[in-house]
A and B are shown apart, each in its own frame.
Chain A
Amino acid sequence: MPSERELQISPVVQESLMHNSRTLNNLQSLTASLFGISAGVLGLESYAGFLYYVALSLLTAVLFYVVRVAPTSLASGGKGKKAPLDTSRYFRGAYDFWAGGLMNGFAGFVLTWTLFYGLVRA
């Protein structure tokens, strides 16, 4: 997290922060439910299902980076140019971006996983 002094030097637009995190949250909860559906259809059980979820949510983060973050973050010239896999142009914490989906959509994933497992196998 940036210090108070850095925030004074280069201030942050709160509305952009909210807009970006809302966009990412929407995507994560939607895709978590989707992964639950496919895990239930596949009939995964215990650790296999959780591994499936972890792998696919990491893939979601990578795909979101490639589609939305990378084109502008890498192309902007001057001081705005970021290193590859650096999301600081749009998000405060790198951890929140890459691993936030694991916590965020977990409940939705388990819900749809059990629902579709029950629907298909019952």
Chain B
Amino acid sequence: MTLLSKTITAFGSLLLAHACYSAREHTALQSLRAATTATLTSSPATAASLPVDIIIETIVSTFILLLGLVLGTRPLRPLEWRVWAGKIEREGEEGFTDNAGAVDKDFMGNPFSVLESRPNFVDIRKQRREFAEWVQKGGAQQGQ
């Protein structure tokens, strides 16, 4: 996505720069022509408007640039807490990436992770028992 939007934006900028240069050259040419005709015939030459191809090029390049810029915006995040938390539960980090696929810097993860790992609620006796079993088993295996 990011490569696509960058390509479109670069192409649109190129077109717009070309259109701008063309319009500049056109007006320079017009003023030069007006000056020469004024000295020759002394009749005031009317300033012609921009040629159609430059107008079309400008408008098309504006649309292309607009499309590229809109495609290059970062993905939005849900506003309501329940939608947002549900998205985190379902998609995890994948739901909060920018266009390049990197996880956002301010992504915090589950807002209730503090509750899910409360040290007060850890069954320390059970863990000690399991550890003792593991030590016995490991010691037996090492002894053999």
A interface list, Cβ under 8 A from B? 10-13, 15-17, 19-20, 23, 26-27, 30-31, 34-35, 37-38, 41-43, 56, 59-60, 63-64, 67-69, 72, 76, 80, 88-92, 116, 119-121
Distance in angstroms between the alpha carbons of A72 and B62 in the assembled complex: 27
In the complex formed, the residue of B with least CB distance to A88 is B79
B97 CB to closest chain A CB, in angstroms? 13
Contact between chains at A68 and B76 (CB < 8 Å): yes
Distance in angstroms between the alpha carbons of A90 and B106 in the assembled complex: 18
Find B66's partner among A19, A34, A91 (CB 8 Å cutoff): A34
Contact between chains at A60 and B66 (CB < 8 Å): yes
Find B62's partner among A56, A64, A88 (CB 8 Å cutoff): A56
Residues of A within 8 A of B83 (CB): 76, 80, 89
In the complex formed, the residue of B with least CB distance to A22 is B74
How many A-B contacts are there with CB distance less than 8 Å? Answer: 108
Distance in angstroms between the alpha carbons of A121 and B106 in the assembled complex: 47
A3 CB to closest chain B CB, in angstroms? 15
A13 CB to closest chain B CB, in angstroms? 5
Contact between chains at B16 and A27 (CB < 8 Å): no
Contact between chains at A43 and B70 (CB < 8 Å): no
Question: Please, what's the 1-or-0 string for B63-96, where 1 marks a CB less than 8 Å from any CB in chain A?
Answer: 0011101110111111111111000000000000
Distance in angstroms between the alpha carbons of A115 and B72 in the assembled complex: 26
CB of B35 closer than 8 Å to a CB of A: no
5 contacts between A and B (CB under 8 A): A34-B16, A34-B69, A35-B62, A37-B20, A120-B27
